[in-house]
Amino acid sequence: MLEVQRLVKVFKQPKKKGKLAGGSPDPRDRGRSFYALDDVSFSAPGGKITGLLGPNGAGKTTLLQVLSTSLQPTSGGVKVDGIDIVREPLLVRRRIGFLSGNTGLYGRLTPRELLQYFGRLHGMARATLDSRIDELAETLDMHNYMDKRCDALSTGMKQKVNIGRTLVHDPDVIVFDEPTTGLDVPAAEAIVALVERCRDEGKTVIVSTHNMHEVARVCDHVVLIHQGKLRFSGSVDQMRSESECDTLDQAFLTLMHAEVIDAA
């Protein structure tokens, strides 16, 4: 279980250098606060896939960075299986796998070497790690290129290696940030099937995506944020019903401008 409670993340914007007519500094330009997340609350249970939706700039990336412990919240909190991400970030990192949308690979390493490296960072024993790498190579169909350098791999192959790195320590909570973006149909289908498999194994899965077809196919629960605020939280069927729209694309556009959900 992952629980987000009244989460707020504020960034201070740079001060402007405006001046009034008389040449004195404009007091309105003393620096402003930008609320990337503003009182967001929701839960993501185990054995379910929670879809995170929102337009570009909605606050999704900031939310994912907070969940992964890369950023600390300004206020509010997040708990993973009851463990506070601020008080015990190292414990949380052992339980979370985070697939970022912009994480690169070490081009001069092979997939096997890269997975070994990250497995050791997680403190995995050599025998356990070797067994886990063989399991991931089988699951992700990577046997044919496990010992090729990463800079020689296709986009789909690299994404599978990224996913292998995310799953190498067998985390209880897995966050996928747009896992199929830029992939061809076979590669995207393989990754969607893997996401479903993680859910079937009882893991807590969060998928940030713009693909409404994927949402309809795999998501048990949907969270929609816009301008840092929670606009909807519920099932896919509830999303259609509450918006009174037949398609998820229409429902998304309608709910994006709905009233903010009170976190209380």
Q: Which of 106-115, 182-191, 197-206, 221-230 has the lowest mean pLDDT?
A: 182-191
Residue 163 in any domain: the answer is no
Domain annotation covers residue 131: no
Domain count, the chain: 1
As given in the structure block, the two tokens for residue 257 are: 């401008």
- Cα separation, 167 vs 42, in Å, equals 24
Domain range for 179 = 2-10+32-106+172-231+252-256
CA distances from 15 to 20, 28, 32, 101, 182 (A): 15, 9, 7, 30, 37
Task: List pLDDT tens digits, range 16-25.
Answer: 655 555 555 5
Q: What is the full DSSP assignment across 123-177?
A: T--HHHHHHHHHHHHHHTT-GGGTTS-GGGS-HHHHHHHHHHHHHTT--SEEEEE
Sign of the C-alpha dihedral, residues 166, 172, 177, 179?
Answer: positive
CA-CA distance, 197 to 38, in Å (whole number)? 33
Residues sharing a CB contact under 8 Å with residue 16, sequence separation 6 or more, in sequence order: 26, 29
pLDDT score of 100: 84
Residue 174 in this model has a pLDDT that exceeds 60: yes
Q: How confident is the model over 84-95, as a mean pLDDT?
A: 91
42-51, 95-104, 130-139, 195-204: which range is least confident on average? 95-104
Determine the pLDDT at residue 12.
83
pTM score: 0.85
Residue 67 within any structural domain of the chain: yes
Task: Give me the amino acid identity at 157.
Answer: M
- Take residue 42 and report the two structure tokens written for it: 């929701």
Domain containing residue 52: CATH number: 3.40.50.300
Domain assignment of residue 264, yes or no: no
- pLDDT of 262 reads 66
pLDDT at position 30, please?
Answer: 46
The arithmetic mean of pLDDT across residues 7-11, rounded, is 93
Q: Give every CB contact of residue 191 below 8 A, 6+ residues apart in sequence.
A: 159, 160, 163, 179, 180, 183
pLDDT of residue 156: 87
Asked if residue 236 belongs to a domain, the reply is no
Give the amino acid at 134: D
- Partnered with residue 222 across adjacent β-strands are 51, 234
Q: Which pLDDT score is estimated for 181?
A: 81
Q: Would you state the pLDDT for residue 167?
A: 94
% the chain with pLDDT above 70:
91
Has residue 121 been placed in a domain? no
130-165 pLDDT, tens digit per residue, is 999 999 999 888 999 999 999 999 988 998 999 999
Whether 62 is in a domain gets the answer: yes
pLDDT number for residue 190: 86
pLDDT beyond 70 at 28: no
d(CA 182, CA 36): 26
How high is the pLDDT of residue 264?
55
Is residue 204 very low, low, confident or very high in pLDDT (cuts 50, 70, 90)? very high
Would you say residue 262 lies in a domain? no
